[in-house]
């Protein structure tokens, strides 16, 4: 599943670039924001998901009676780099289409 976060921030950056210019300060700010969001989606959150999987496995293997009512950690966090890339491409294409056909 493509990253909706990457798609939305890529669409924002592309739209600002088309409207304000790709050499504008506003485009630079939105591009920086977009890169942080995409890094977070593919890197930090994915690493947190891997750590959650390891912790859940450790609890299952090393404790005879894990606390009843304790919730397992969420393991499906983040996206693969490919999912982020596809989301960013979809967002950029969507903004280009909107700019081309959606504005008078």
* pLDDT tens-digit map of 16-33: 999 999 999 999 999 999
Q: What sign for the dihedral angle of Cα 67, 69, 70, 71? A: positive
Lookup: tokens for 36? 């942080």
Task: Please state, in angstroms and rounded to a whole number, the distance separating the CA atoms of residues 38 and 78.
Answer: 10
pTM listed for this prediction = 0.72
Structural domains of the chain, count: 1
Q: What sign for the dihedral angle of Cα 11, 13, 17, 19? A: positive
Q: What is the pLDDT of residues 51-87, one digit of tens each?
A: 777 777 777 776 666 565 566 666 666 678 888 999 9
Q: Phi, psi (5° rounding) for residue 76?
A: -90, 75
Radius of gyration of the chain (CA): 19
Residue 76 lies in domain: 4-101
Lookup: tokens for 52? 């959650």
């Amino acid at each position: 599943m493509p990253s909706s976060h990457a798609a939305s921030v890529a669409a924002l950056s592309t739209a600002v670039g088309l409207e304000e210019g790709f050499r504008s300060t506003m485009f630079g700010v939105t591009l920086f924001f977009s890169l942080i969001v995409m890094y977070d989606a593919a890197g930090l959150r994915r690493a947190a998901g891997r750590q959650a999987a390891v912790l859940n496995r450790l609890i299952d293997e090393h404790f005879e009676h894990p606390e009843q009512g304790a919730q397992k950690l969420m393991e499906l966090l983040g996206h693969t780099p490919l999912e982020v890339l596809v989301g960013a491409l979809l967002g950029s294409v969507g903004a280009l289409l909107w700019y081309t056909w959606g504005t008078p």
